[in-house]
Amino acid sequence: MVCTLYRRQPRRDPSSTHSWFLPEKLPMMRKPEGSPASNGGAKLRKGLWSPEEDDKLMSYMLTNGQGCWSDVARNAGLQRCGKSCRLRWINYLRPDLKRGAFSPQEEELILHLHSILGNRWSQIAARLPGRTDNEIKNFWNSTIKKRLKTSPPHRELGETTEAMMPSREHELMVVGMDSSSSSSSSVHPLSSRTFCDILFPAMTDGPGYGTAGVASGSHHMPVENIAQEDGLYANVAQEVIDMDGLMAMGGEQYFVPPLVSSSLGENATNAGISYQNPSRNISDNCNLNNTGTNEIIQGTSFVRSEIWEGHEDLRVGEWALEDLMEDISSFPLLDFQVE
DNA sequence: AACTAAGACAACCGCATGTGA
DNA sequence: TTCACATGCGGTTGTCTTAGT
């Protein structure tokens, strides 16, 4: 039997311009376990969130912002573990979430990024404003994966790869972005410098980091500095990409979408990073927290703005995807991505 | 109308990492 | 240095929805 693809109705109005819109009351997919009144406060609830719980968490986050998640759970009067609250907030309640179907541009971008980053869903999500890693992961596993089985990836996205693969392809396979297994998130134990040297022997400097020649090979920003500024994983491929959006391979430069601000209340790695348009700075609308996260994000934003001053169109929550796709269209799919 | 298969997606779980005492 | 705790991430599971039979 063949079922047509569909997506459920968005539960919130994605077209709303209001910073916060309360979720529609959800149909119960699963009966929430017990009621807060009946569990005596001892046992933590699991399963689907009730609308009441959502309201509690939402209003707590609105008034207090994010702090320690276990405190959030406790202070908001939720019989949930902090982890559960965090997940609910990030994946569902966050105001900057974009609901609804992925656009073709987004799909293509996901494919593209996945070919580069593998199953690093959080990294991919960081480049798709309003989308969560969970959402992208689900989308990939349920839709794209199946689609790719019936149509090879580089047929869909245009030319890649054999011709464009770096000559050290086999080393890439061994060293770095192994997404063939479920342990894709792992950071390879090899030193990042080694990885970098193997991957990008002729890395360029990016905007904000000088204009040394493409093949200089000696102007790498120190890994430590990159990590400091971006809060990135100790994965040089990612660091290279994140710091300037340019990935150099075999003397060619390829654009990788920059990190965008799409996740309020997360750390600076995944959260607010490129507020190019101050008028849309989310922190203007939301009292993020009172524990300093806001300042951190703004500080990071400053760094980011410098790095990305060539990309003025970056916006929070609404991304010029067309431009982006144009920019990355020159980036080859790297076929070390294995299903 | 009932059943079934498959898609969609919310949420849990385990692990890794970071941080502070 | 060690330990405990918080957080983040990716994989996986479970349940609901929908369409076809």
- Work out the mean pLDDT of chain A and round it to a whole number: 52
Is residue A125 domain-resident? yes
List the Cα angle A310/A316/A321 in 5-degree steps.
65
- Are the C-beta atoms of residues A331 and A247 closer than 8 Å to each other? yes
What tens digit of pLDDT does each residue of A253-268 get? 445 555 654 433 333 3
pLDDT exceeds cutoff 80 at A101: yes
Closest CA to C20 C1' — which residue?
Answer: A1
Based on the fold, state whether residues A116 and A138 are members of the same structural domain: yes
Domain range spanning residue A69? 50-95
Q: What is the pLDDT of residue A326?
A: 52
Is residue A3 domain-resident? no
Domain termination site, one of A147, A177, A211: A147
Listed residue (A189, A170, A285, A199) closest to A234, CA to CA: A189
Is residue A54 domain-resident? yes
Based on the fold, state whether residues A116 and A81 are members of the same structural domain: no
Determine the average pLDDT of the residues in A241-260: 45
Is residue A294 domain-resident? no
Q: What is the pLDDT of residue A34?
A: 36
Based on the fold, state whether residues A103 and A126 are members of the same structural domain: yes
Based on the fold, state whether residues A104 and A132 are members of the same structural domain: yes
Residues with CB under 7 A from strand C: A 1-4, 6, 8-9, 27-31, 67-70, 82-83, 86, 119-123, 133-134, 137-138, 141, 179, 181-185, 266-267, 269-270
Query: CATH code at A80?
Result: 1.10.10.60
Alpha-carbon span A285 to A61, nearest angstrom: 13
Q: What is the pLDDT of residue A152?
A: 55
Report pTM.
0.55
Alpha-carbon span A236 to A220, nearest angstrom: 11
What tens digit of pLDDT does each residue of A144-155 get? 777 766 665 444
Number of domains observed in the structure of chain A: 2
Q: What is the pLDDT of residue A229?
A: 32
Is residue A109 domain-resident? yes
% of chain A at pLDDT higher than 70? 31
Based on the fold, state whether residues A55 and A89 are members of the same structural domain: yes
What tens digit of pLDDT does each residue of A182-219 get? 333 333 333 333 333 333 333 323 322 222 222 233 33
CA A117 to C1' C1, whole Å: 36
Q: Which nucleotide is nearest to A142 (CA to C1')?
A: B7
CA A225 to C1' B18, whole Å: 18
